[in-house]
Amino acid sequence: MTLSDILTHLGETREAYFSAVAPPIIQSSNFAFSDLASWRAAFADELSHHVYTRGNNPTTAILRQKLAALEGTEDCLVFASGAGAIAAAVLSNVQAGDHVVCQQHPYSWTSALLRKFLPRFGIGCTFVDGTQVANIAAAFRPNTRVLYLESPNTMTFECQDLAACADLARSRGVITIADNSYCSPIYQNPAAFGIDIVVHSGTKYLNGHSDVVVGVLCASRAMVRRIFESELMTLGGILGPHDAALVLRGLRTLPLRIACSDASARFLIEKLEHHPKVERIWYPFHTSFPQRELAMRQMRGCGGLFSVQFRTPSMERMEAFVHRLRRFLLAVSWGGYESLVVPMVGFYGIPGRDEPHLPWSFCRFYVGLEDPQWLWEDLEQAMEVL
């Protein structure tokens, strides 16, 4: 099945809804039965029947089929947020007394789940520098049940060798989970390397319009059924049909959007790399990136995220630079139309929060779909104050 088959046709049984070209929004909490035989058949397998929208909904089901096909897995579940999908993936594979190994700098709320939440239930976690598979192997204990990866991660884009990690984990009976939000299924498919569960913050590239928070979990049919019957149905953090329809709309243009962001990010990096105020650039395919060879082996592109460490003598000048940016919006997240900046300096001096592990001269940029020359003019004028 090609990308176009998936995005235009898969799951869209148009004859069932007046041949509508766009997927329907079935805004119904429950579904009626004509007789008890069909009622009984549905309750024997709620994952495959329409009973109640917490379990299954026709609009959401179209989205699930497309996402599973994009990641090359048998099935998929969608959640109310990426954090919800990540929590379901981890919780479904651990019990009291178990242990998780995680790469050293995952997304902040993934870190909170593993560092603060799971210990309440007697589950421990070891964080390791995942750039070397040997570090991961050394962190495994007899009670390790889950290896959690995020490749690339979202600030410095550290990568893990997905095939080597999957082989190692399988030989120890450990389930692998990989957060693929950075690449989206367009540029990387962790399941093809043997990863068991692929999770996404669909809030980023998949929806792509900065207007829905959504989580995705792709895995085998058996794993999806198990998570459906435990975490999804009991914790109930589902995506509503209206939001599912918005994500379906976003998916139609995913390949075009991410290719545009990728090209514009490269355009800006070429301008930035020789600028006197630029100390270092992080971008997995950049010649200076320490894991470039691995990144090029397992990814087909990078998309619109890159980071810069600026050369500037003071935090005040760094703050002035951030305030001079007019076209890049000062906002977290990525994957929408709008270009964004996340400046590390903004995480310094927040009461009750640990200082970041990255310097205040570090910024992560997301390049959206605007004219890249227009974005360059913004960066260039703002860098004058550094």
Ligand X SMILES: *Cc1c(COP(=O)(O)O)cnc(C)c1O
Rounded to 5 degrees, φ, ψ at 184 are 65, 165
Q: What is the DSSP letter of 23?
A: P
From 57, 144, 188, 201, residue interacting with ligand X (rule: CB under 6 A): 201
Q: Is 188 in the site for ligand X (CB under 6 A)?
A: no
345-352 LR contacts (CB < 8 Å, sep 24+): 345/315, 345/318, 345/319, 346/322, 348/315
From 61, 63, 76, 83, residue interacting with ligand X (rule: CB under 6 A): 83
Q: How many CA atoms lie within 13 A of 185 on its CB side?
A: 25
Q: Please report, in angstroms and rounded to a whole number, the separation of the first and last CA atoms in the chain.
A: 50
CB of 218 to ligand X, least distance (A): 14
Closer residue to ligand X, CB minimum distance, 81 or 264: 81
Cα(145)–Cα(90) distance, integer angstroms: 10
Q: Is 312 in the site for ligand X (CB under 6 A)?
A: no
Q: Is 81 in the site for ligand X (CB under 6 A)?
A: yes
Q: Is 179 in the site for ligand X (CB under 6 A)?
A: yes
Q: Is 215 in the site for ligand X (CB under 6 A)?
A: yes
Closer residue to ligand X, CB minimum distance, 215 or 250: 215
Closer residue to ligand X, CB minimum distance, 274 or 353: 353
Q: How far is CA 70 from the centre of its chain?
A: 14
In this structure, are residues 195 and 178 in contact, taking their beta carbons and an 8 Å threshold? yes
Q: Residue 119 to residues 108, 144, 329: CA-CA distances in angstroms?
A: 16, 14, 37
Q: Under rule CB under 6 A, how many of the chain's residues touch ligand X?
A: 13
From 92, 154, 176, 291, residue interacting with ligand X (rule: CB under 6 A): 154
Rounded to 5 degrees, φ, ψ at 356 are -65, 160
Closer residue to ligand X, CB minimum distance, 107 or 228: 107
- Residue whose C-beta lies closest to ligand X: 82
In this structure, are residues 80 and 231 in contact, taking their beta carbons and an 8 Å threshold? no
Burial class (CB in 10 A: 0-12, 13-18, 19+), 87: buried
Q: Which residues, 6+ apart, have CB-to-CB distance to 225 below 8 Å?
A: 47, 75
Closer residue to ligand X, CB minimum distance, 83 or 269: 83
CB of 154 to ligand X, least distance (A): 5
Q: Which stretch binds ligand X (CB under 6 A): 30-38, 78-86, 226-234, 252-260?
A: 78-86
CB of 227 to ligand X, least distance (A): 17
Q: Is 331 in the site for ligand X (CB under 6 A)?
A: no
In this structure, are residues 303 and 339 in contact, taking their beta carbons and an 8 Å threshold? no
Q: Is 235 in the site for ligand X (CB under 6 A)?
A: no
Q: Which stretch binds ligand X (CB under 6 A): 11-19, 21-29, 201-209, 373-381?
A: 201-209
Q: Which stretch binds ligand X (CB under 6 A): 6-14, 200-208, 223-231, 279-287?
A: 200-208
Q: Residue 363 to residues 154, 197, 231: CA-CA distances in angstroms?
A: 12, 30, 36
Q: Is 213 in the site for ligand X (CB under 6 A)?
A: yes
Q: Which stretch binds ligand X (CB under 6 A): 41-49, 76-84, 314-322, 365-373?
A: 76-84
Torsional class of 379: left (φ above 0), alpha (ψ -120 to 50), beta (otherwise): alpha
Closer residue to ligand X, CB minimum distance, 28 or 111: 111
Omega of the bond prior to 58 within 30 degrees of 0, cis?
no
Contact pattern from residue 99 through residue 138 relative to ligand X, giving x for each residue in contact according to CB under 6 A and a dash for the rest: --------x-------------------------------
Q: Is 181 in the site for ligand X (CB under 6 A)?
A: yes
Q: Is 339 in the site for ligand X (CB under 6 A)?
A: no
Using CB under 6 A, list all residues that contact ligand X: 81-83, 107, 150, 154, 179, 181, 201, 203-204, 213, 215
